[in-house]
Amino acid sequence: MSSPRANNSQANSKGTLLKWLPWVLLLIVLAAFTWLFTSMNSASNAWEPPRTTPEEQQASAPVSDTPAPISSYHNAVARASQSVVNIYTTQAMAEHPYIDDPVLRRFFENQDSQQGAGPTNLGSGVIVSEDGYIVTNAHVVEKADEITVAFSDGRKSRAKVIGTDPDSDLAVIRVDMTGLTPLGFREEPIRVGDLALAIGNPFGVGQTVTQGIISATGRTGLGVNKFEDFIQTDAAINPGNSGGALVDARGELVGINTVIFSRSGGSMGIGFAIPTALVEQVMNALIKDGRVSRGWLGIEIQSQLRDPTQLETTTGVEVLKVVPQGPAAKSGLQVGDVILTIDDVEMTDANRLIQYVARKPPNMVLNAQILRRGKNAQVEIMLEERPVQEVVQRPVAMEGGLEEPDYHGQAQNRPMMSEEERDRMREELMKLFEQDGAVQ
């Protein structure tokens, strides 16, 4: 027989277990909910560009056993080139406005031309995800009716446009393929003097690599895009390179090649690429929403006039016009105010202000330090979404892809024939047809 003390001990143990059991179950339930919430939250995070792992960086880094110059960048190029694609676009030719005329249609049918066959334009692109997203220039896929992507391993696929942003000249297209190799984005800022390798399809000769250095960063005011923050390089960039990759010595993406300064149509050692910071912003917006939403102040501005002969220079941006009911007007900003800083960032010129504001989302509040009638003041401005504006025309001196034929680009603006000219053309064609029939 068990003693009363043993029975009491067992009873106490069971009581303690029953007392703590609900708390243990509660902790298990809380842990399960925490794990579920964390999983759902991580799944809803914004898409991030691919990053190069430390192991990949070490494997593709230039290696030299002696202080002698590096003799090859084969490892970096081999890894990066498999993520660069060639893009071919075609645009169907519009039917002639008089194709329904029975006489004139007969003339068109006798011509040795293929209805609907348009010119083929060349460009390049960069794979940014395993499931088929590709970044390129907006002007590469502009007005394209059909987009064909050729991969480095010989495969080809049709692509569809996910979204374009003409203001930055960037676009995202997608192919129905998986298991692709995305190109890792460089995380550290690129520096002047760093090595640069441009990879693309110049003149349609096939994938080509050219070498140079980073000549400058933060280039603005070129008049190419509305929002400019270019990397300048002397790596040869030619027609067909548009949308291709500019990579560093480790094969990491630093920019998307877009334009060149040229008087001959070929490279003259001054090329420009869109940096990955801007690419990432635009790419994420296009993939998520199909469009890019930018902040807007609602003012017209100009940089402060500077006299190069003076030792003291004046910085800041003068407000020339305030849009009624715009964000700046609502904040109290006035014509004649000089914006010195925004969020403690010095506004050295108008381009810097435009780029800074454009990278901020709508509904964000900016703190501006201004100079008004010789006195400093602080103004808080809540940004609104930038309204859609007309597309900037690219300068002739800048390379923006292969030019379209005159007919193709001007078909919509070509004036129609008058009725008198049309009747005269009908009579001449009828005579030609009758003579042709007599000879036969």
Q: Which of 165, 167, 169, 337 is catalytic?
A: 169
Query: 380-390 burial, b if ≥16 CB within 10 A, otherwise e?
Result: ebebbebeeee
Q: Please enumerate in sequence order all residues whose Cβ is within 8 A of that of 89, keeping only pairs 6 or more positions apart, or say none.
A: 120, 121, 123, 140, 141, 144, 146, 147, 148
124 is a catalytic site residue: no
Distance CA 58, CA 296 (A): 43
HSE at residue 207, side-chain half, CA atoms within 13 A, is 22
Distance CA 372, CA 253 (A): 44
Q: Which of 60, 81, 129, 139 is catalytic?
A: 139
176 is a catalytic site residue: no
The conformation of residue 52, written as its DSSP 8-state character, comes to: -
In this structure, are residues 183 and 243 in contact, taking their beta carbons and an 8 Å threshold?
A: no
- Separation of CA 48 from chain center: 15
Q: Which of 60, 83, 168, 242 is catalytic?
A: 242
- Separation of CA 111 from chain center: 41
96 is a catalytic site residue: no
Which neighbouring-strand residues pair with 362? Answer: none
In this structure, are residues 230 and 281 in contact, taking their beta carbons and an 8 Å threshold?
A: no
The dihedral over CA atoms of 386, 392, 397, 398, expressed in degrees to the nearest 10, equals 50
3-state secondary structure of 256: strand
Distance CA 85, CA 136 (A): 10
Active-site positions read 139, 169, 242
